Protein backbone atom coordinates (compact mmCIF):
# COMPACT_ATOMS: atom_id res chain seq x y z
CA UNK A 1 0.00 0.00 0.00
CA UNK A 2 2.80 2.44 0.74
CA UNK A 3 0.58 4.17 3.28
CA UNK A 4 2.04 3.78 6.78
CA UNK A 5 -1.11 5.29 8.34
CA UNK A 6 -3.13 2.17 7.54
CA UNK A 7 -2.75 -0.75 9.94
CA UNK A 8 -1.52 -3.98 8.42
CA UNK A 9 -4.52 -6.02 9.56
CA UNK A 10 -7.15 -3.60 8.31
CA UNK A 11 -9.56 -4.45 5.51
CA UNK A 12 -8.72 -2.37 2.46
CA UNK A 13 -12.08 -3.38 1.01
CA UNK A 14 -13.84 -1.85 4.04
CA UNK A 15 -11.82 1.38 3.84
CA UNK A 16 -12.82 1.71 0.20
CA UNK A 17 -16.49 1.08 1.02
CA UNK A 18 -16.33 3.79 3.72
CA UNK A 19 -14.57 6.16 1.26
CA UNK A 20 -11.49 6.39 3.48
CA UNK A 21 -9.58 4.99 0.50
CA UNK A 22 -10.28 5.81 -3.12
CA UNK A 23 -11.36 3.02 -5.47
CA UNK A 24 -7.76 2.44 -6.50
CA UNK A 25 -6.66 2.17 -2.85
CA UNK A 26 -5.07 5.60 -2.55
CA UNK A 27 -5.43 8.27 0.10
CA UNK A 28 -5.94 11.99 -0.23
CA UNK A 29 -5.87 14.77 2.35
CA UNK A 30 -9.52 14.26 3.28
CA UNK A 31 -9.14 10.49 3.71
CA UNK A 32 -6.01 10.93 5.86
CA UNK A 33 -8.04 13.26 8.10
CA UNK A 34 -10.86 10.69 8.34
CA UNK A 35 -8.43 7.91 9.22
CA UNK A 36 -6.79 10.08 11.89
CA UNK A 37 -10.24 10.66 13.44
CA UNK A 38 -11.10 6.97 13.35
CA UNK A 39 -7.87 5.91 15.05
CA UNK A 40 -8.17 8.65 17.65
CA UNK A 41 -11.69 7.58 18.62
CA UNK A 42 -10.61 3.93 18.62
CA UNK A 43 -7.90 4.76 21.19
CA UNK A 44 -10.67 5.66 23.64
CA UNK A 45 -12.90 2.65 22.90
CA UNK A 46 -10.25 -0.09 22.67
CA UNK A 47 -9.47 -0.14 26.45
CA UNK A 48 -13.18 -0.61 27.17
CA UNK A 49 -13.37 -3.51 24.73
CA UNK A 50 -10.29 -5.07 26.33
CA UNK A 51 -11.93 -4.86 29.77
CA UNK A 52 -15.04 -6.55 28.40
CA UNK A 53 -12.93 -9.25 26.75
CA UNK A 54 -11.44 -10.07 30.16
CA UNK A 55 -14.90 -11.19 31.29
CA UNK A 56 -14.26 -14.40 29.33
CA UNK A 57 -17.82 -14.44 27.99
CA UNK A 58 -19.58 -13.01 24.94
CA UNK A 59 -20.58 -9.36 25.19
CA UNK A 60 -22.64 -6.98 23.08
CA UNK A 61 -21.94 -3.53 21.69
CA UNK A 62 -24.86 -1.48 20.37
CA UNK A 63 -24.24 1.49 18.09
CA UNK A 64 -27.28 3.74 18.33
CA UNK A 65 -28.36 6.03 15.51
CA UNK A 66 -25.79 4.14 13.48
CA UNK A 67 -26.35 5.83 10.11
CA UNK A 68 -24.05 4.03 7.68
CA UNK A 69 -22.62 2.05 10.64
CA UNK A 70 -19.23 3.64 10.03
CA UNK A 71 -18.18 3.25 13.68
CA UNK A 72 -19.43 -0.33 14.03
CA UNK A 73 -17.56 -1.50 10.93
CA UNK A 74 -14.31 0.12 12.04
CA UNK A 75 -14.58 -1.40 15.52
CA UNK A 76 -15.29 -4.83 14.07
CA UNK A 77 -12.38 -4.54 11.65
CA UNK A 78 -9.86 -3.35 14.24
CA UNK A 79 -10.95 -5.45 17.24
CA UNK A 80 -13.76 -7.98 16.86
CA UNK A 81 -12.58 -9.88 13.79
CA UNK A 82 -9.28 -10.81 15.52
CA UNK A 83 -11.11 -12.40 18.47
CA UNK A 84 -13.38 -15.42 18.26
CA UNK A 85 -15.09 -14.75 21.59
CA UNK A 86 -18.70 -14.57 20.46
CA UNK A 87 -18.91 -10.79 21.00
CA UNK A 88 -21.49 -9.06 18.81
CA UNK A 89 -22.01 -5.60 17.33
CA UNK A 90 -25.58 -4.40 16.78
CA UNK A 91 -26.34 -1.29 14.73
CA UNK A 92 -29.67 0.46 15.33
CA UNK A 93 -30.94 2.80 12.62
CA UNK A 94 -34.39 3.94 11.51
CA UNK A 95 -33.64 4.48 7.80
CA UNK A 96 -34.32 1.25 5.95
CA UNK A 97 -31.92 1.92 3.07
CA UNK A 98 -28.98 2.41 5.46
CA UNK A 99 -29.81 -0.78 7.35
CA UNK A 100 -30.01 -2.74 4.08
CA UNK A 101 -26.71 -1.29 2.87
CA UNK A 102 -24.96 -2.16 6.15
CA UNK A 103 -26.26 -5.73 6.03
CA UNK A 104 -24.98 -6.13 2.47
CA UNK A 105 -21.53 -4.77 3.38
CA UNK A 106 -21.23 -7.02 6.44
CA UNK A 107 -22.12 -10.03 4.31
CA UNK A 108 -19.66 -8.97 1.62
CA UNK A 109 -16.86 -8.63 4.18
CA UNK A 110 -17.87 -11.79 6.08
CA UNK A 111 -18.25 -9.80 9.30
CA UNK A 112 -20.45 -12.53 10.76
CA UNK A 113 -21.00 -11.10 14.25
CA UNK A 114 -22.62 -7.87 13.10
CA UNK A 115 -26.39 -7.36 13.14
CA UNK A 116 -28.42 -4.38 11.93
CA UNK A 117 -31.89 -3.43 13.11
CA UNK A 118 -34.41 -0.94 11.74
CA UNK A 119 -35.84 0.16 15.09
CA UNK A 120 -36.84 3.21 17.08
CA UNK A 121 -35.38 3.61 20.56
CA UNK A 122 -38.61 2.46 22.22
CA UNK A 123 -38.77 -0.60 19.99
CA UNK A 124 -35.06 -1.30 20.53
CA UNK A 125 -35.50 -1.38 24.31
CA UNK A 126 -38.29 -3.96 24.00
CA UNK A 127 -36.97 -5.90 20.99
CA UNK A 128 -36.27 -9.62 21.40
CA UNK A 129 -33.64 -9.30 18.65
CA UNK A 130 -31.35 -7.49 21.09
CA UNK A 131 -29.86 -8.98 24.26
CA UNK A 132 -31.45 -8.20 27.61
CA UNK A 133 -28.16 -6.71 28.80
CA UNK A 134 -25.80 -4.70 26.61
CA UNK A 135 -22.28 -4.05 27.88
CA UNK A 136 -21.29 -1.09 25.66
CA UNK A 137 -23.45 1.52 23.92
CA UNK A 138 -22.04 4.04 21.46
CA UNK A 139 -23.57 7.01 19.64
CA UNK A 140 -21.37 8.96 17.24
CA UNK A 141 -22.95 12.23 16.08
CA UNK A 142 -26.36 10.53 16.22
CA UNK A 143 -28.90 12.93 14.72
CA UNK A 144 -32.25 14.30 15.89
CA UNK A 145 -32.85 13.00 19.46
CA UNK A 146 -30.70 9.90 18.96
CA UNK A 147 -27.99 10.86 21.49
CA UNK A 148 -30.58 11.05 24.27
CA UNK A 149 -32.26 7.95 22.88
CA UNK A 150 -28.92 6.14 23.14
CA UNK A 151 -28.59 7.21 26.78
CA UNK A 152 -32.11 6.01 27.54
CA UNK A 153 -31.40 2.68 25.81
CA UNK A 154 -28.10 2.26 27.68
CA UNK A 155 -29.74 2.93 31.04
CA UNK A 156 -32.53 0.44 30.37
CA UNK A 157 -29.98 -2.17 29.22
CA UNK A 158 -27.72 -1.58 32.26
CA UNK A 159 -24.73 -0.85 30.05
CA UNK A 160 -21.34 -1.00 31.71
CA UNK A 161 -19.89 1.60 29.32
CA UNK A 162 -21.45 4.42 27.27
CA UNK A 163 -19.43 6.34 24.66
CA UNK A 164 -21.04 9.46 23.19
CA UNK A 165 -20.01 12.12 20.74
CA UNK A 166 -23.11 14.22 21.35
CA UNK A 167 -25.11 15.94 18.63
CA UNK A 168 -28.37 17.81 18.07
CA UNK A 169 -28.88 20.04 21.07
CA UNK A 170 -31.48 22.24 19.31
CA UNK A 171 -34.31 21.16 21.63
CA UNK A 172 -32.82 22.84 24.72
CA UNK A 173 -31.96 26.00 22.77
CA UNK A 174 -35.54 26.20 21.48
CA UNK A 175 -36.89 25.94 25.04
CA UNK A 176 -34.41 28.60 26.23
CA UNK A 177 -35.76 30.93 23.54
CA UNK A 178 -39.33 30.32 24.70
CA UNK A 179 -38.57 31.20 28.35
CA UNK A 180 -36.02 33.96 27.64
CA UNK A 181 -38.33 36.86 28.55
CA UNK A 182 -39.25 35.39 31.91
CA UNK A 183 -35.65 34.45 32.63
CA UNK A 184 -34.32 37.94 31.83
CA UNK A 185 -36.83 39.47 34.21
CA UNK A 186 -35.82 37.04 36.95
CA UNK A 187 -32.02 37.18 37.14
CA UNK A 188 -28.88 38.55 35.49
CA UNK A 189 -27.38 35.14 34.69
CA UNK A 190 -29.84 34.73 31.81
CA UNK A 191 -27.72 37.33 29.98
CA UNK A 192 -25.50 34.32 29.21
CA UNK A 193 -27.99 33.24 26.53
CA UNK A 194 -29.82 36.50 25.66
CA UNK A 195 -28.37 36.93 22.16
CA UNK A 196 -29.48 34.32 19.57
CA UNK A 197 -25.97 33.01 18.87
CA UNK A 198 -25.37 32.65 22.61
CA UNK A 199 -28.73 30.89 22.99
CA UNK A 200 -27.60 28.28 20.48
CA UNK A 201 -24.12 27.85 21.97
CA UNK A 202 -25.30 27.85 25.57
CA UNK A 203 -28.12 25.46 24.69
CA UNK A 204 -25.59 23.04 23.19
CA UNK A 205 -23.34 23.24 26.24
CA UNK A 206 -26.23 23.00 28.70
CA UNK A 207 -27.61 19.90 26.97
CA UNK A 208 -24.35 18.04 27.53
CA UNK A 209 -24.14 19.25 31.13
CA UNK A 210 -27.63 17.83 31.76
CA UNK A 211 -26.67 14.56 30.06
CA UNK A 212 -23.61 14.25 32.29
CA UNK A 213 -25.61 14.92 35.46
CA UNK A 214 -28.19 12.35 34.36
CA UNK A 215 -25.53 9.70 33.88
CA UNK A 216 -23.92 10.54 37.23
CA UNK A 217 -27.34 10.27 38.88
CA UNK A 218 -27.48 6.71 37.54
CA UNK A 219 -24.16 5.82 39.16
CA UNK A 220 -21.75 6.41 36.27
CA UNK A 221 -18.27 7.89 36.50
CA UNK A 222 -17.55 10.26 33.62
CA UNK A 223 -14.61 11.27 31.49
CA UNK A 224 -15.54 14.31 29.40
CA UNK A 225 -12.89 15.29 26.91
CA UNK A 226 -12.23 16.53 23.39
CA UNK A 227 -11.70 14.52 20.24
CA UNK A 228 -8.41 15.92 19.00
CA UNK A 229 -8.30 15.96 15.22
CA UNK A 230 -11.99 16.80 14.85
CA UNK A 231 -11.36 20.53 14.71
CA UNK A 232 -13.39 20.85 11.50
CA UNK A 233 -16.50 19.96 13.49
CA UNK A 234 -17.98 21.94 16.38
CA UNK A 235 -19.35 18.63 17.71
CA UNK A 236 -16.07 17.28 19.06
CA UNK A 237 -16.98 16.61 22.71
CA UNK A 238 -16.52 13.03 23.89
CA UNK A 239 -18.35 11.61 26.91
CA UNK A 240 -17.23 8.23 28.27
CA UNK A 241 -19.41 6.86 31.09
CA UNK A 242 -18.39 3.87 33.21
CA UNK A 243 -20.92 2.26 35.54
CA UNK A 244 -19.41 2.30 39.03
CA UNK A 245 -22.66 2.15 41.05
CA UNK A 246 -21.67 5.47 42.62
CA UNK A 247 -24.06 7.42 44.86
CA UNK A 248 -26.09 9.61 42.53
CA UNK A 249 -28.32 11.61 44.86
CA UNK A 250 -26.33 14.84 44.64
CA UNK A 251 -26.15 14.67 40.84
CA UNK A 252 -29.90 14.05 40.66
CA UNK A 253 -30.55 17.05 42.90
CA UNK A 254 -28.23 19.25 40.86
CA UNK A 255 -29.88 18.09 37.64
CA UNK A 256 -33.33 19.09 38.87
CA UNK A 257 -31.99 22.39 40.17
CA UNK A 258 -30.30 23.32 36.86
CA UNK A 259 -33.45 22.37 34.93
CA UNK A 260 -35.59 24.57 37.19
CA UNK A 261 -33.23 27.53 37.19
CA UNK A 262 -32.95 27.56 33.40
CA UNK A 263 -36.69 27.12 32.84
CA UNK A 264 -36.44 23.72 31.18
CA UNK A 265 -39.13 21.94 33.20
CA UNK A 266 -40.88 20.88 29.98
CA UNK A 267 -37.82 18.73 29.18
CA UNK A 268 -37.70 17.00 32.57
CA UNK A 269 -38.66 13.62 31.12
CA UNK A 270 -35.80 13.63 28.62
CA UNK A 271 -33.27 13.68 31.48
CA UNK A 272 -35.01 11.13 33.73
CA UNK A 273 -33.28 9.92 36.88
CA UNK A 274 -33.98 7.08 39.34
CA UNK A 275 -36.66 7.89 41.89
CA UNK A 276 -34.52 6.43 44.67
CA UNK A 277 -30.97 7.58 43.94
CA UNK A 278 -28.67 6.08 46.50
CA UNK A 279 -25.71 3.77 46.40
CA UNK A 280 -27.19 1.78 43.53
CA UNK A 281 -28.02 3.09 40.08
CA UNK A 282 -30.69 0.51 39.20
Query: 179 vs 60, which has greater pLDDT?
Result: 60
Output the pLDDT for position 104. Answer: 96
Q: Give residue 277's pLDDT band: very low, low, confident or very high (50, 70, 90).
A: very low
Output the pLDDT for position 132. Answer: 92
Q: Give residue 231's pLDDT band: very low, low, confident or very high (50, 70, 90).
A: low
Output the pLDDT for position 260. Answer: 92
Residue range 192-220: average pLDDT?
A: 93
* Residue 42 DSSP one-character state: H
Strand order in the sheet with 161-165: 114-117, 88-92, 60-64, 136-140, 161-165, 237-243, 220-226
Q: What's the CATH code, domain 1-167?
A: 3.40.50.150
Share of the chain above pLDDT 90, in %: 51
Please list the residue range(s) of the chain that carry CATH number 3.40.50.150: 1-167
b (16+ CB within 10 A) / e for 22-36: eeeeebeeebebbbe
Share of the chain above pLDDT 70, in %: 91
Output the pLDDT for position 92. Answer: 94
Output the pLDDT for position 84. Answer: 85
Cut 0.85: pTM above it: yes
Query: Per-residue pLDDT tens for 124-181?
Result: 999 999 999 999 999 887 665 778 889 999 999 999 999 998 876 688 888 899 988 8
Query: Per-residue pLDDT tens for 71-116?
Result: 899 999 999 998 988 999 999 999 999 999 999 999 999 999 999 9
H helices, E strands: number in the chain: 9, 7
b (16+ CB within 10 A) / e for 111-133: bebbbbbbbebeebeeeeebeee
Q: Give residue 229's pLDDT band: very low, low, confident or very high (50, 70, 90).
A: low
Q: Give residue 281's pLDDT band: very low, low, confident or very high (50, 70, 90).
A: very low
Task: Name the pairing type of β-strands 237-243 and 161-165.
Answer: antiparallel
Residue range 15-35: average pLDDT?
A: 80
Name the most confidently modeled range: 21-35, 192-206, 226-240.
192-206
Amino acid sequence: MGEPEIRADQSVELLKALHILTRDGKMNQDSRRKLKQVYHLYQFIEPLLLQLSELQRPFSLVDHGAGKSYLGFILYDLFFKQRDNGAMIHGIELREELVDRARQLAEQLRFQRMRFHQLSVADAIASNDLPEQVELVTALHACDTATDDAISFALHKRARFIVLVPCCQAEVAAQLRRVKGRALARDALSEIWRHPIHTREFGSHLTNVLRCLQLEAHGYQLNVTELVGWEHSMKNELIIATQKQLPGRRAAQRLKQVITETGLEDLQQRFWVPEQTGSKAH
